[in-house]
């Protein structure tokens, strides 16, 4: 009732003394509302005096206080007693505040400010709001921690902060729980949430054998709305100073890219006495090391685009020397489908080669044409002279489609390639392979499809190098292929009736395929053309697919394939008919059994596996598996086993245990079981609170030991992070 009377009094004043909406006053808000226990208006000074539970509401926020004087001409409010001001999402508090509700400027005595966008608190004896985004503090402090006694804070005789910009501290300290631990004569710190030019937080590490102390300080430059750059300054006391630069650009919504390069004059002396061929060098010291990477995409029209993925390093030891950290490891994303989502390869020391490609692609509804240029750097050889390069390779393919309006189907694989190398056979290759098929259906459960393929391959090649006696090889190869598939699919839907899983569909698809390829003389085929083996075989496969229909809380329906299991095996008819008279060994027509498994019953578990088992020897030829287990707390276990007979046997294990809400324990193991050697063992502790975090890690590998500390002040940045780098057209 009392506040209602004050509103009524206010409206009467507006009729007697002028328009309360301040429409007649220049630059005033369109509407200002005042609620208070008592309200008075002085027509001589054109001021309102409000007392008791005062609430003044304006366009961008409101003021609460015990007493407020509002000057109608200047739009300045002087508030005292438990002052609380909300401007947008930011909050200002103090005992006495002068605030201009038109231009959002003012002065706070004994108060504090809270910025919602980056969760930043400012406190000071005097806080002056100079504009919409700039604050000047005397005897002030800044932190992103909640509470009256924050875990950390910057203090200073003078502080100036620009939201979405930077803050400066003069004659201050860095305090932990109120205890000064570092004197700061002058400091610049980030207080931004969007793209802003400036220093990013550093990265600090120590590598005992390879790098020594390793410190990197990136600088980010927001050049324009569609161009930015990051400069990486990195010092390694055992190797020298490395400079790197990344440029990201958007020419238009259909043309964009990223370019990176780095350079280091390596001063480390390297021994070539290691038994491992990868460690043997052809230099001792003072070697120039560099790398570059270009990722560009231009779409000319729907289905017609140019894609470049070019990368190169100075030497085959680059990734082995910088395996603790390099740009490509830090920015690799397994699936980089979005612009600037990451580089296309992981700069790991196990890399055996780098492939640079340029693709020009044109898609139609039933056909595809691709022109490819590919250059390969082979890290398993001192010289790249014998590595085959593609300059270019053009393919034209057609998916299965009817021939005119007949029941006959047609598909096409064709290619032209020019293959080059300094030492070995180089030349041209033309391959045409049309396939005709006739799908025949029997009832709704059986489909039979015979096929006939006609293949013509021609080549012209010459030998380059110092070898004497090698001759040019020109020729052609003609063959036909016969095939047939017999398949069926049956399914059943089970009504589960669960709260989440409503129904489950089990589909079962058996398939039998026959392949016949006659013998063709291929003695004069160059080595850049693969031989085609004479084949007369049957292959069966059995595929089981389980799909769940899921219901959410609102009644929405989604589907998820949670289990797929495929088994296949071939039967060699040619081997079954082989004459064993006068020869040792029995017939072994049965081939290896192949299995593929994808299992994801719920969001916290997944298992992928593929295997090959030799039924003749009773041995596993290949076995790869990976499973991920996680829970709602954030605990994660990832285990991977890779096995190829007489070649590879590896175990990779990654574990993150959330022991408490604040403490994570991390363990990573990479082990070569074939050589009984631990490739890497990493132990890490990740401690995080509301406003800061710290990660300590130790890694041990056969050729190095390294220690890394990652310290984060949330809201201000993170060591090694590139926050605020969103770049969109």
670-707 tens-digit pLDDT: 999 988 889 889 999 999 888 888 888 999 988 888 88
Contacts of 57 (CB under 8 A, 6+ apart): 32, 33, 34, 35
State the sign of the Cα–Cα–Cα–Cα dihedral 436, 442, 443, 445.
negative
Longest pairwise C-alpha distance within the chain: 126
pLDDT at 166: 72
SS3 (DSSP) at 134? strand
> Which of the four pLDDT bands, split at 50, 70 and 90, describes residue 542?
very high
Strand partners, 597: 565, 609
Contacts of 25 (CB under 8 A, 6+ apart): 72, 73, 75
Q: pLDDT per residue over 594-603, tens digit each?
A: 999 999 998 8
Kindly tell me if the per-residue pLDDT of 396 is higher than 60. yes
pLDDT at 217: 84
> Which of the four pLDDT bands, split at 50, 70 and 90, describes residue 271?
low
| Helices (H) then strands (E): counts for the chain | 4, 42
Report which secondary-structure segment, H or E, holds 12: helix 2-17
**Residue 583, class by beta-carbon neighbours within 10 Å (0-12 exposed, 13-18 middle, 19+ buried)?**
exposed
SS3 (DSSP) at 661? coil
Q: Which of 110, 105, 106 has the alpha carbon at shortest distance from 93?
A: 110
SS3 (DSSP) at 331? helix
Strand partners, 378: 353
pLDDT at 280: 62
> Which of the four pLDDT bands, split at 50, 70 and 90, describes residue 129?
confident
Lowest mean pLDDT segment, chosen from 171-175, 579-583, 614-618, 643-647: 579-583
pLDDT at 285: 62
**What is the SS3 string spanning 312-327?**
EECCCCHHHHCCCCCH
pLDDT at 21: 30
Contacts of 578 (CB under 8 A, 6+ apart): 587
Strand partners, 246: 230, 260
pLDDT at 585: 74
> If you average pLDDT over residues 83-90, what whole number do you get?
82
Q: pLDDT per residue over 275-326, tens digit each?
A: 454 446 666 666 899 999 999 999 999 999 999 999 999 988 899 899 888 9
DSSP string computed for 548-573: EEEE-TTS-EEEEEEEEEEEEEEEEH
Distances, alpha carbon 512 to alpha carbons 283, 490, 543, 565, in Å: 58, 15, 12, 17
Percent residues over pLDDT 90 in the chain: 45
**Residue 178, class by beta-carbon neighbours within 10 Å (0-12 exposed, 13-18 middle, 19+ buried)?**
exposed
**What is the SS3 string spanning 17-83?**
HCCCCCCCCCCCCCCCEEECCEEEEECCCCEEEEEEEEEEEECCEEEEEEEEEEECCCCEEEEEEEE
Kindly tell me if the per-residue pLDDT of 725 is higher than 60. no
Strand partners, 92: 85, 113
* Contact (Cβ atoms closer than 8 angstroms) between residue 119 and residue 145: no
Kindly tell me if the per-residue pLDDT of 213 is higher than 80. yes
Q: pLDDT per residue over 346-374, tens digit each?
A: 888 888 899 999 999 999 999 999 999 99
* Contact (Cβ atoms closer than 8 angstroms) between residue 214 and residue 204: yes
* Contact (Cβ atoms closer than 8 angstroms) between residue 487 and residue 512: yes
pLDDT at 719: 35
Contacts of 282 (CB under 8 A, 6+ apart): 272, 382
Higher local confidence (pLDDT), 686 or 718: 686
pLDDT at 5: 40
Q: Which of 307, 374, 359, 375 has the alpha carbon at shortest distance from 337?
A: 307
* Contact (Cβ atoms closer than 8 angstroms) between residue 9 and residue 21: no
Distances, alpha carbon 259 to alpha carbons 231, 296, 396, 546, 726, in Å: 12, 8, 30, 44, 16
pLDDT at 118: 74
pLDDT at 196: 57
> If you average pLDDT over residues 702-728, what whole number do you get?
61
pLDDT at 22: 30
Instruction: Give dist(CA 15, CA 214) in Å, integer.
Output: 73
Contacts of 273 (CB under 8 A, 6+ apart): none
pLDDT at 562: 94
* Contact (Cβ atoms closer than 8 angstroms) between residue 131 and residue 118: no
Q: pLDDT per residue over 490-528, tens digit each?
A: 999 999 888 889 899 999 999 999 999 999 988 888 888
**Residue 63, class by beta-carbon neighbours within 10 Å (0-12 exposed, 13-18 middle, 19+ buried)?**
buried
pLDDT at 716: 62
Higher local confidence (pLDDT), 577 or 28: 577
Q: Which of 337, 393, 388, 390 has the alpha carbon at shortest distance from 360?
A: 393
SS3 (DSSP) at 10? helix
> Which of the four pLDDT bands, split at 50, 70 and 90, describes residue 25?
very low
Q: pLDDT per residue over 421-478, tens digit each?
A: 999 899 999 999 999 999 998 877 899 999 999 999 999 999 887 765 678 889 999 9
Q: In degrees rounded to 5, what are phi and psi of residue 574? A: -65, -45
Q: Which of 500, 596, 591, 585 has the alpha carbon at shortest distance from 545?
A: 596
pLDDT at 106: 83
pLDDT at 185: 87
DSSP string computed for 276-306: SGGG--S--S-EEEEEEEEEEEEEEETTEEE
- For tokens 């609430």, the residue is 55
Instruction: Give dist(CA 50, CA 616) in Å, integer.
Output: 96
> Which of the four pLDDT bands, split at 50, 70 and 90, describes residue 90?
confident
pLDDT at 715: 67
Kindly tell me if the per-residue pLDDT of 212 is higher than 70. yes
Q: Which of 680, 675, 722 has the alpha carbon at shortest distance from 704?
A: 680
pLDDT at 3: 43
Residue 529: count of CB within 10 angstroms of its CB: 20
pLDDT at 195: 56
- The distance of Cα 389 from the centroid of its chain, to the nearest Å, equals 29
| pLDDT, averaged across the chain | 85
Q: pLDDT per residue over 136-179, tens digit each?
A: 899 988 888 998 889 988 899 988 887 766 778 888 898 888 89
> If you average pLDDT over residues 22-44, what whole number do you get?
68
Kindly tell me if the per-residue pLDDT of 17 is higher than 50. no
Contacts of 237 (CB under 8 A, 6+ apart): 211, 212, 213
Contacts of 123 (CB under 8 A, 6+ apart): 111, 112, 113, 137, 140, 141
* Contact (Cβ atoms closer than 8 angstroms) between residue 14 and residue 7: no
State the sign of the Cα–Cα–Cα–Cα dihedral 496, 498, 503, 509.
negative
Q: Which range in 182-191, 203-212, 464-473, 587-596 is most confidently predicted, on average pLDDT?
A: 587-596
Contacts of 239 (CB under 8 A, 6+ apart): 210, 211, 212, 264, 266, 267, 268, 321
* Contact (Cβ atoms closer than 8 angstroms) between residue 430 and residue 416: yes
Question: Tokens representing 372?
Answer: 């490819």
SS3 (DSSP) at 358? strand
pLDDT at 538: 97
Kindly tell me if the per-residue pLDDT of 80 is higher than 80. yes
Q: Which range in 191-200, 316-325, 340-349 is most confidently predicted, on average pLDDT?
A: 316-325
């Amino acid at each position: 009732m009392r506040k209602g009377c004050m509103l009524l009094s206010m409206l009467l004043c507006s009729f007697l003394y002028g328009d309360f909406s301040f429409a007649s006053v220049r630059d005033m808000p369109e509407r200002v509302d005042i609620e208070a226990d008592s309200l008075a208006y002085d027509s001589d000074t054109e001021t309102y005096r409000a007392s008791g539970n005062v609430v003044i509401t304006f366009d961008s926020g409101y003021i609460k206080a015990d007493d407020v004087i509002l000057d109608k001409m200047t739009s300045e409010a002087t508030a005292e007693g438990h002052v609380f001001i909300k401007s947008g999402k930011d909050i200002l508090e103090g005992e006495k505040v002068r605030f201009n509700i038109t231009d959002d400027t003012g002065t706070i005595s004994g108060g504090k400010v809270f910025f919602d966008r980056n969760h930043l608190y400012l406190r000071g004896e005097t806080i002056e709001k100079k504009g919409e985004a700039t604050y000047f503090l005397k005897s002030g402090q800044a932190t992103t921690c909640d509470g009256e006694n924050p875990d950390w804070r910057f203090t200073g005789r003078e502080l100036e902060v620009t939201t979405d910009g930077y803050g400066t501290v003069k004659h201050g300290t860095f305090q932990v729980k109120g205890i000064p631990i570092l004197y700061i004569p002058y400091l610049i710190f980030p207080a931004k949430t969007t793209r802003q030019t400036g220093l990013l937080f550093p990265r600090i590490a120590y590598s005992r054998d390879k790098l020594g102390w390793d410190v990197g300080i990136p600088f980010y430059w927001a050049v324009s709305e569609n161009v930015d750059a990051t400069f990486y300054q990195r010092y390694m006391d055992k190797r020298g100073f490395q400079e790197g630069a990344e440029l990201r650009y958007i020419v238009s919504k259909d043309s964009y890219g990223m370019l990176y390069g780095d350079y280091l004059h390596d001063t480390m002396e390297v021994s070539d006495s290691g038994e491992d061929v990868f460690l043997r060098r052809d230099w001792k010291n003072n070697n120039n090391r560099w790398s570059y990477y270009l990722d560009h995409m231009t779409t000319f029209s729907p289905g017609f685009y140019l894609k470049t993925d070019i990368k190169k390093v100075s030497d085959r030891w680059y990734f082995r020397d910088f395996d603790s950290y390099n740009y490509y490891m830090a920015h690799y994303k397994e699936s980089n489908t979005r612009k600037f989502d990451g580089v296309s390869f992981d700069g790991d020391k196990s890399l055996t080669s780098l492939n640079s490609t340029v693709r020009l692609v044109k898609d139609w509804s039933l056909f595809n044409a691709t022109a490819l240029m590919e250059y390969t750097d082979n890290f398993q050889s001192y010289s790249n002279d014998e590595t085959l390069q593609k300059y270019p390779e053009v393919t034209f393919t057609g998916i299965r489609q009817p021939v005119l309006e007949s029941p006959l189907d047609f598909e096409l694989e064709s290619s032209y390639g020019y293959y080059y190398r300094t030492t070995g056979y180089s030349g041209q290759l033309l391959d045409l392979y049309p396939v005709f098929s006739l799908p025949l259906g029997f009832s709704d459960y059986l489909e039979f499809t015979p096929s006939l393929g006609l293949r013509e391959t021609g080549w012209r090649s010459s030998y380059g190098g110092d070898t004497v006696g090698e001759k040019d090889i020109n020729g052609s190869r003609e063959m036909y292929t016969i095939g047939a598939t017999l398949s069926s699919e049956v399914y059943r839907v089970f009504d589960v009736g669960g709260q989440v899983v409503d129904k489950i569909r089990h589909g079962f698809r058996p398939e039998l395929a026959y392949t016949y390829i006659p013998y063709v003389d291929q003695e004069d085929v160059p080595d850049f053309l693969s031989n085609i083996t004479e084949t007369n075989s049957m292959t069966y496969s059995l595929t089981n697919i389980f799909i769940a229909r899921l219901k959410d809380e609102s009644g929405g329906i989604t589907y998820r394939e949670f289990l797929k299991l495929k088994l296949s095996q071939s039967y060699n008819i040619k081997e079954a008919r082989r004459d064993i008279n006068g020869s040792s060994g029995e017939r072994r027509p049965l081939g290896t059994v192949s299995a593929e498994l994808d299992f994801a019953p719920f969001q916290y578990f997944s298992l992928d596996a593929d295997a090959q088992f030799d039924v003749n020897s009773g041995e596993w030829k290949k076995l790869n598996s990976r499973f991920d287990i996680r829970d709602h707390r954030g605990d994660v276990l990832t285990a991977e086993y890779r096995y190829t007979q007489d070649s590879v046997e590896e175990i990779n294990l990654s574990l993150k245990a959330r022991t408490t809400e604040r403490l994570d324990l991390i363990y990573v193991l990479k082990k070569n079981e074939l050589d009984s050697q631990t490739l890497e063992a990493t132990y890490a502790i990740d401690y995080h609170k509301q406003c800061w975090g710290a990660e300590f890690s130790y890694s041990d590998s056969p050729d190095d030991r390294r220690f890394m500390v990652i310290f984060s002040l949330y809201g201000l940045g993170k060591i090694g992070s590139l926050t605020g780098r969103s770049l969109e057209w």
